[in-house]
Amino acid sequence: MLIPSVPLTIHPMQKGVELAAAAVKELEAAGPSAAAAAQYMATVLSFAVKHRDVVAAWGRFPHRNAILGRDSTPEELAGLADGSIHKF
């Protein structure tokens, strides 16, 4: 799964989303014997999409600002406070 740290470009994250989506589709097509694996990969896909979307919107993971010694923008602080920016 490609879920890189910032400040990498969004492209590797998009590739991770595409690979996870393809795996879900393949596992769902495999039938009931692969149901648990399909469900697991659907969860992986959900996390990959959330990570990609945060970086696409903010260019970084705002919830990491404090631990990395970065200043947060007022918009980031508001998004973190109201839950519109996902925390991982």
- How large is the average pLDDT for residues 41-57? 95
User: How many structural domains is the chain composed of?
Assistant: 1
15 found inside a domain: yes
**Integer Cα distance of 3 and 15 in angstroms:** 10
Mean predicted lDDT score pLDDT of the chain? 90
pLDDT for the residue numbered 32? 95
Q: Quick check: is 5 in a domain?
A: no
Q: Do 66 and 87 meet the contact criterion of CB atoms below 8 Å apart?
A: no
| Torsion sign over Cα 4, 18, 42, 84 | positive
Report yes or no on 87 lying in a domain. no
Domain-embedded: residue 4: no
Q: How far apart are CA 22 and CA 46, in angstroms?
A: 13
**How high is the pLDDT of residue 11?**
82
Task: Look up the pTM and report it.
Answer: 0.80
pLDDT at 67 over 80: yes
Domain span including residue 63: 10-82
